[in-house]
Structure 1
């Protein structure tokens, strides 16, 4: 059974969510875990790609955007980004930045949802939380203080 963790940020900005996604990606990759960042569309994917390149000057995060034709872990990059099903990436972390729960989340060892305190995202959080529970998952919830580390 996959593990699902919600991170509730104190900030109210999409940039805070993306920055936290970069921090989680860095931490997971440095611990040896492959990472896939799932977005709603190509534009969001390209935005995250740019942030991963620019996130920290002193840290390189080896990543690539995957497309639907790259399946079942065929990418050589330890960090992938996409808006379609990436296939099964063994032992990987899924950082879900999309508005819904991807059908393939159970192919991942762990799924992370990152939400800021804006009214819209909080409502989406509640719905996702209920949807995971209805799917038999017991999600964890972590409040992240401004600037806090995880």
Structure 2
């Protein structure tokens, strides 16, 4: 059963949420996981793609957008459902990914934007009510 961690940032901008996703991605990548980052749109996917190259001066996370992915361990997509390498899912969408249960672990990335918090609470309740192991980190 998927282990789900909620990471809640203290700010309310998309950029801050994406940087938090970069931090979580770095940790998962360092542990050797294959990471699938699910976003809400092509625009968000492209912003994260650019940010993963520059967010930290000493960081290097090889990655690709799903339409250009070959064997990368980190994939970014908004409309792609992976069937293999399902170690870690990072959800940047404001909806529950339909395919989340294929993954061993999932990180839900939230910030202080009211809609994002409200929808995050709904997803938390959904997972809790179905018996998923949940962790919560206020950052």
Same fold (TM over 0.5): yes
CA contact (8 A) 2:35 2:88 kept: yes
Give the match for residue 140 of structure 1: 135
Give the match for residue 82 of structure 1: 77
Residue 133 and residue 20 in structure 1: after superposition, are their counterparts in 2 closer, same or farther (change >3 A)? same
Q: For 1:62-113, what per-residue CA distance to the aligned partner results, in whole angstroms no more than 9, with x for missing partners?
A: 000004xx8xxx8300110001233233352100001101111011110000
CA distance in 2, matches of 1:83, 1:11: 23
Count matched residues: 139
2:109 is equivalent to residue 103 of structure 1: no
Q: Over aligned residues, Cα RMSD in angstroms?
A: 1.8
SS of 1:103 mapped into structure 2: coil
Give the match for residue 22 of structure 2: 22
Identify the range of structure 1 (102-111 vs 9-18) with the bigger mean alpha-carbon deviation: 9-18
- Which runs of no fewer than 5 residues in structure 2 stay unpaired? none
SS of 2:109 mapped into structure 1: strand
- Which runs of no fewer than 5 residues in structure 1 stay unpaired? 145-150
CA contact (8 A) 1:36 1:80 kept: yes
CA contact (8 A) 1:89 1:108 kept: no
CA contact (8 A) 1:53 1:60 kept: yes
